[in-house]
Structure 1
């Protein structure tokens, strides 16, 4: 069987049995590229492409002559008729192209479509432009995801290159320009930040929606207008004050065993938001030899938990990028099997509610395909899933079934919080019972660890009083500690309790809550101590079963926790910042109404009998 390969990206080229050939007519070569992309076309379509202004009779004659000339040039029929009107590629010839490989997810996008080829044929040029846009949009989808991950991991040099690449393709992508603004700020290149801001004002003002315009203005103000009122910013060099060395060494040891002894490894890094789970993983990958294995990474978002097979789709997306990079020696069967699985997943509607039978059927197909796929792996792979607590039920069930059968070529690392749907708890419980599963728990910093962290970060420039204030506000959570350190005023005090980043994180956790859940949080925010179920029942107009369901959802969302006493269970916010934030967004008139309701429902004597029972943002005394 003859083999043909078509290079469509960049300068085009055709090979027959690995020998470069050049058809004698440019229109003939153009027709071949058009057929390879479209595979099945009608004669009138081709006539419109090449002879739009000719009489139909003459145009059909020209097409017949062109097909005959192509047969002479090639020595065989590549384009055949299946009826009077339809042309297809000869199924007895094995045909491949860089374009089709890219669209299937097993090839790279390098160069423009058919660069400088047949630009003088008007309709063909229009088709080329339409095809370029299609490929560009697909390419942009992939690198936008990479850009998001690079920004999250503070890989600003790589992020800058990707942002500039996107802008070259989509010169009016204002959101990527805003990302570039943030990148230059992080790199300390203030002049470039200013230049982009000027571009927003002069060229892009009509492209900005109100929210983005407000974000740009606030960011620019934060960078330039308020800099004079801040302590000179210390470069955030994580290397200089990384304090999770014990946990880092555990992770390194697991990795060394995996690399040297071909032993599968499953590592789960557990802890609340902001304690440094992702930081630990990033530090680990900076210190180990990444040449020994390929890394496939995905960061789950809260929205993913309700989307069918979302995690599986994203892992396979990352995997196929890795397979097509050219760094991995894999068979065509392996790459096409991976592409088929992703194609199957891509066609699934993430938002459709599947029946048990439909879910089981799809799980069986994917599990069988994955089993065949991983059986072919020769090189080592590391799968990293950040925030796996937001993984969807179907994907976690699939991982739960496959993890016991992973071979020594695969290492699986995940970060997880005590949040997410009930299926997450089942997944973690089952996985932690497997052999060779290592769980690493990250806790908040103690007072001593917080002070040590602050001293390293600030070069011992923060007073003991301010360190105590930062510990009190942060409760030892590293994320809050860093935010407050970066927002100290000239007098050394915390300039802003709810910084932009803190507000974004807290808002993100509150996103998607029901009206009833918000209502309960507002009540809890009015108390300095937690409340037991019976007291909540008095203040909340629901029966206990409904109340328990709401509390359970808030616990799974990581916002509140159960605190066990001698003979009671109280519900309280997981971090004081959640309480303060919820309290801050309640209107004053609503607060007054809630305080009045508390006095009426609980009775003045009961309320006044408990010290600091009710919360005020100014004092800890009774309101």
Structure 2
């Protein structure tokens, strides 16, 4: 009898340890997805996703804050009830208490469990984690009955995009100065894709090609920019851009 009890306890402990070891991963740049042990997790309604996405960015939140954000048109009592159910459904689907409440007013992700996200990795060292930023934050994810959540999502999307552009440009300059050219072209192209009207990035790419004696590419980039500015804005490239192009045309 004692041996049977020990066996049962061992099985329970093993299952608990396996749950504790499971890694919850958030992919929030681009089309968002949540993974548990690298397997995608799908939830029964989108408010669960929204709650988890919000917690992934804001590790500690108030119940009133998130209830008002997700159910703005409900009474306080109804919103709180919906929140309790959403937390229950989330933890049930994840097979562990990933969302915990240290007190009656606070929610947070369980610090005893392993949680990872591309946003956290990127923000920990943006310049050296540029590849974590794959696309805009929560791309394509909306809540049809919560304008405030969508406004928050848009605000954060703009914040992360600006952060990426700042550190990407900074890294490009540093890499060129250090003659580490392997990612320079790729990163400038990423900057251009985010703002096709910013001549500064075209100038940077043209100057980079020119320094590599790739004058044909300089001219190609110039006409690419010229076409975009003419068709979309009805203007010509700046004098500085034209000067870079002229130098390459004289050598080509």
State TM-score, norm by structure 1.
0.31
In the TM superposition, 1:441-456 aligns within 5 A as none
Structure 1, unpaired ranges of 5+? 206-212, 236-623
Q: Aligned partners of 2:226 and 2:38: how far apart in 1?
A: 51
Shift of 1:199: 5.3
Question: Compared with structure 1, are the counterparts of its residues 163 and 81 closer, same or farther at alpha carbon in structure 2 (3 Å cutoff)?
Answer: same
- Structure 1 residue 131 corresponds to structure 2 residue 161: no
Q: Aligned partners of 1:71 and 1:162: how far apart in 2?
A: 39
Of Structure 1 and Structure 2, the greater helix share is in: 2
Question: Compared with structure 1, are the counterparts of its residues 156 and 58 closer, same or farther at alpha carbon in structure 2 (3 Å cutoff)?
Answer: same
Question: Compared with structure 1, are the counterparts of its residues 101 and 154 closer, same or farther at alpha carbon in structure 2 (3 Å cutoff)?
Answer: closer
Structure 2, unpaired ranges of 5+? 1-19
Instruction: Determine the structure 2 residue equivalent to 1:253.
Output: none
Instruction: Determine the structure 1 residue equivalent to 2:138.
Output: 114
Q: Aligned partners of 1:219 and 1:79: how far apart in 2?
A: 53
Instruction: Tell me the C-alpha RMSD between the 2 structures.
Output: 3.5
The answer on whether the counterparts of 1:184 and 1:192 sit within 8 Å (CA) in structure 2 is no
Question: Compared with structure 1, are the counterparts of its residues 71 and 135 closer, same or farther at alpha carbon in structure 2 (3 Å cutoff)?
Answer: same
Shift of 1:119: 5.3
The answer on whether the counterparts of 1:78 and 1:93 sit within 8 Å (CA) in structure 2 is yes
Shift of 1:43: 1.7
Matched position secondary structure for 1:6 = strand
In the TM superposition, 1:48-447 aligns within 5 A as 48-105=68-125, 107=129, 108-118=132-142, 120=144, 121-149=146-174, 151-152=176-177, 159-183=184-208, 187-188=215-216, 189-190=218-219, 192-194=221-223, 196-197=225-226, 203=233, 216-217=238-239, 220-221=242-243, 223-224=245-246, 233=251
Shift of 1:193: 1.9
Matched position secondary structure for 2:44 = coil
Shift of 1:128: 2.2
Shift of 1:204: 8.9
Shift of 1:84: 2.6
The answer on whether the counterparts of 2:215 and 2:248 sit within 8 Å (CA) in structure 1 is no
Aligned pair count reads: 221
Larger RCO of the pair (alpha carbons < 8 Å, separation 6+): 2
Larger Rg: 1
Cα deviation code 1:213-249 (max 9, x no counterpart): 9xx425525754x899xxx53x7xxxxxxxxxxxxxx
Question: Compared with structure 1, are the counterparts of its residues 204 and 158 closer, same or farther at alpha carbon in structure 2 (3 Å cutoff)?
Answer: farther
Q: Aligned partners of 2:111 and 2:240: how far apart in 1?
A: 60
Q: Aligned partners of 2:189 and 2:153: how far apart in 1?
A: 24
Shift of 1:104: 1.5
Q: Aligned partners of 1:93 and 1:50: how far apart in 2?
A: 25
The answer on whether the counterparts of 1:2 and 1:16 sit within 8 Å (CA) in structure 2 is no
Cα deviation code 1:39-97 (max 9, x no counterpart): 00112221232111222222222112212222332333222222332211222222222
Shift of 1:166: 0.4
Alignment match of 1:14 (pick from 14, 17, 34): 34
Shift of 1:11: 3.5
